Structure 1
């Protein structure tokens, strides 16, 4: 298929003066080098200057400050307490005990003695000082980890389903996720030069980035691989999703889904969450070709003027799904086959012990909101270091911020079970069905976008909702609840049965009616309200659910059937 049939009417070669300022910044960055190296040496500030803050996102780093003490420092005429968050690139969420122990070491030395499991199956190290960034990144390199493209306008961390019972299929899909991640990360030498001290090899705009060009993508781009029947990665929330089609453990290929995304802006009806559209089937050997084709379409057609509408979901809705599919097929040189049948039943994790088809055992541990530290009644950081020191298998971070202690030989299971009991880890898997299906973003005090609490508040709120559930006999009912401190949707709240997004300190939008396995958007039930209004609304809704639900009916489905909120069939109707 020749370039003549590919419409490049919005190609990145258009003059930069017609584009947004971030596009000019990227084009002038010398392929993501900027002045980052010099900024790291500036001793009079804990920050980095100018556009380097944005460029460092491509290196997996966010500059943040402690918002709990921001006002105090302003009164004392001090600069904000700047620190950095480093996000690890960990395709599929799989790591070795040696890698875990290195992360533990770095967390204790440089990151406030805390690790955080993210909603995209990786780790974040918070509170890292500027002068400690190189030691952290070089420490990661010692165990073959990095932070490349964990943020920025590129292909971010690639997700993959965690299904301990399907050993061979999981291994094959994971290998493809790793291959896709390694293929799609930026190829600029900037990372090696700035963080490892490699010699600069030149900052040209062509050969260094054959996929991304001089200005990379218009916005972030997310890829995920899912293995039905568990939609744990929320494949419909991905820019590009690969839905495994298998017979037993034999992988036949993938259905391709495009255009998912959660972010929106309050009071901006032109922004909205969108579920991905399934456009066809491909054999498994076409995964990388499809990645290139889909990324290329977004690179060439995505909005480079208005960043609020620069995600792939808006490109699809603005151009039309049929037009975008045709562009993808033109780049591939063939038409996609019709999508094949599949079904999802949930998007949560099966906690506790599971045996894989290969006879090895796996223990999935509930980690509330992904936070691993020694704060509170359980020294979780210490406990998991003890596990990693004796574990001979691997770890798997789940898309729900939980942790699988994986690949335990049958003969080793009794000893591992005893170790888990010794450290109180087996007790973490209790709690209500709501708590076990809860998820929150970081929000305060580190996220600069947060408008309300999330991670620090959701456990207490769940406790108050648990009292309602207990009153109605719903304590064990699995109900998904997700909270974010702003409308950007990092914890994927817009597909939860109960979703909460921050509007101001103590104020949230409440959404109801999402699909239990991520197949349907929810709808706003209350806007900009406090805790009591949230609890009153949920008391009424859950009471009706207990009395009126059909056998096997999930809460989100009931909310639609009972008319608590209208059904949202596609993203452009979300704000109606």
Structure 2
């Protein structure tokens, strides 16, 4: 018996307005160019508010001063956040100097924000500087194409500074996947670069015959139903949180060389407070593909989600909901049909870590790599800690590259032995090297307030103080040299990846959070809601009890998340679509 068309299983409902918007956008052009000349507002109007996201930008304002401006009868101070496209996070020191210069001269805050999507963001770019910003990036060999909205976003790749040759191979595939899945429309070049070509060569042709549209042969005129995230990981390091992505490629090597990838599909971490039909999910193992079919596989997964995803309800439009609706096996069979081969069985792999190796490590080729801890990824000079200046000074003399990590840190990679002392001296003088606890290294937050319009609570500004309190508790109980993977989100959209933490906080309102526990150190298990809508003092009291019990009763090398599950603090989340919202009771 043949399987029914999975699209027929969608409920009869009108398409979301985003579908109309994309259909009428003239392949993402809209009237953005007209809006740029409107000096009466710092904002974008109508559909353009959404369309600029396909060009890598979000409209924001400083919520700290919003009420003050309303009182003055002024519109909120509108500005843009731009996210660069940087597959695998590798950048040259010369590019860094250009990035730094623009941030200092043309943004409201003067900072650079490293994100856990392994790229950087500018915050606070006013309308007159938007087009010059894109042209500036273009001269640096960079762009922000497809880093937001309903497309495949920036492709992550394990930084892996030690196994440099394997990293180089994997990084090349991250770049190829990114290029293959990019929008083909000329809108970015037409609007921001006055029609100048974005790439020196033509975009690659689609590989799958089922994909037919002339302008957008892979993404289609209406692009994807929702955002789509892809990552490449090199075991045993899982700092890219491979299970949080719609599409994951697990590098499989033989004799030190890449031979193919295990393919994972259907991860994602967002949900909606109180909406039990939404849930975070870890991805499903589809199988192994050889290198020759990597791009075919990527295209097949994307085009299947393009055709089968929910375009009526954006809360259920991500790949994981398509898999749940049609069945993992049916989706997998369609991918096999489109890419032209059958998945081989999953090759063995395992993860042991997902944190960055802060400090110096020596690579296999004899050069050194310095991983710098950047709290919350925020690069700005502060009194006694001029880290932005320090990175600028390093970039002026460094002959290797910079690598941005998925943990919001930065690696000064490929340092020859003769330059090691010189680089370290600059780093120490500017506060880039210092005493940082393991707990602080393994804590992370999204941007949240004041610039993110979706934030319900603080995250980036809340985390440092929270970590200090957790450090004190851990020192008190004799586990100060240990760590718990701790993450804070300002809302349930998942940008801080709290739903793969051992302890995760998700903002509910100003000063209030939902407390989750029970993820694991390697990022393969979703935590469970323990208590809802609680304040920081309540959180600290709970953590005091938990950490004290963990310190006294844990097994050798047992992380807190595993301890929480073993002792019944929470039940493990084994099947997120069905049990994520169940009670914490054992």
TM-score category, normalised to shorter length: over 0.9
The aligned residue for residue 274 of structure 1 is 281
SS at 2:7 equivalent? coil
| Equivalent residue for 1:230, pick from 228, 234, 237 | 237
Contact kept in structure 1, 2:155 and 2:231, CA below 8 Å: yes
The aligned residue for residue 563 of structure 2 is 558
Matches within 5 A, 1:490-569: 490-569=495-574
The aligned residue for residue 184 of structure 2 is 187
SS at 2:250 equivalent? strand
The aligned residue for residue 337 of structure 2 is 330
Contact kept in structure 2, 1:244 and 1:251, CA below 8 Å: yes
User: 5+ residue gaps in structure 2?
Assistant: 198-211
Provide the C-alpha distance between the structure 1 equivalents of 2:415 and 2:39, rounded to a whole number of angstroms: 48
Matches within 5 A, 1:176-575: 176-198=173-195, 206-427=213-434, 430-572=435-577, 573-575=579-581
Alpha-carbon RMSD across the aligned residues, in angstroms, is 1.6
The aligned residue for residue 63 of structure 2 is 67
Contact kept in structure 2, 1:245 and 1:255, CA below 8 Å: yes
Provide the C-alpha distance between the structure 2 equivalents of 1:125 and 1:359, rounded to a whole number of angstroms: 35
SS at 1:10 equivalent? helix
Q: How much does 1:412 deviate?
A: 1.7
SS at 1:474 equivalent? coil
- Is 1:88 aligned with 2:84? yes
Contact kept in structure 2, 1:7 and 1:327, CA below 8 Å: no
SS at 1:363 equivalent? strand
Q: How much does 1:544 deviate?
A: 0.4
Q: How much does 1:248 deviate?
A: 4.5
Q: How much does 1:72 deviate?
A: 1.4
Q: How much does 1:411 deviate?
A: 2.0
Cα gap change, 1:529 to 1:196, in 2 (>3 Å): same
Instruction: Report how many aligned residue pairs link the two structures.
Output: 563
SS at 2:382 equivalent? coil
- Is 1:25 aligned with 2:30? no
Provide the C-alpha distance between the structure 2 equivalents of 1:8 and 1:378, rounded to a whole number of angstroms: 59
| Equivalent residue for 1:50, pick from 23, 42, 46 | 46
Q: How much does 1:376 deviate?
A: 4.0
Q: How much does 1:418 deviate?
A: 2.2
Q: How much does 1:409 deviate?
A: 1.1
Provide the C-alpha distance between the structure 2 equivalents of 1:292 and 1:340, rounded to a whole number of angstroms: 21
Select between 72-81 and 385-394 the one with higher mean Cα deviation: 72-81
Contact kept in structure 1, 2:506 and 2:514, CA below 8 Å: yes
Provide the C-alpha distance between the structure 1 equivalents of 2:49 and 2:137, rounded to a whole number of angstroms: 21
Provide the C-alpha distance between the structure 1 equivalents of 2:329 and 2:191, rounded to a whole number of angstroms: 43
Provide the C-alpha distance between the structure 2 equivalents of 1:373 and 1:199, rounded to a whole number of angstroms: 33
Contact kept in structure 1, 2:13 and 2:312, CA below 8 Å: no
Q: How much does 1:250 deviate?
A: 1.3
Contact kept in structure 1, 2:384 and 2:431, CA below 8 Å: no
The aligned residue for residue 209 of structure 2 is none
Any idea what the Cα deviations from partners look like across 1:515-541, whole Å, max 9, x if unmatched? 101011101111010001100110010
- Is 1:36 aligned with 2:32? yes
| Equivalent residue for 2:105, pick from 94, 106, 109 | 109
- Is 1:171 aligned with 2:177? no
Q: How much does 1:245 deviate?
A: 1.0
Matches within 5 A, 1:81-160: 81-111=77-107, 112-160=109-157
Provide the C-alpha distance between the structure 2 equivalents of 1:332 and 1:140, rounded to a whole number of angstroms: 35
Contact kept in structure 2, 1:481 and 1:493, CA below 8 Å: yes
Q: How much does 1:421 deviate?
A: 2.4
Provide the C-alpha distance between the structure 1 equivalents of 2:262 and 2:110, rounded to a whole number of angstroms: 42
Contact kept in structure 2, 1:229 and 1:344, CA below 8 Å: yes
User: 5+ residue gaps in structure 1?
Assistant: none
Contact kept in structure 2, 1:97 and 1:393, CA below 8 Å: yes
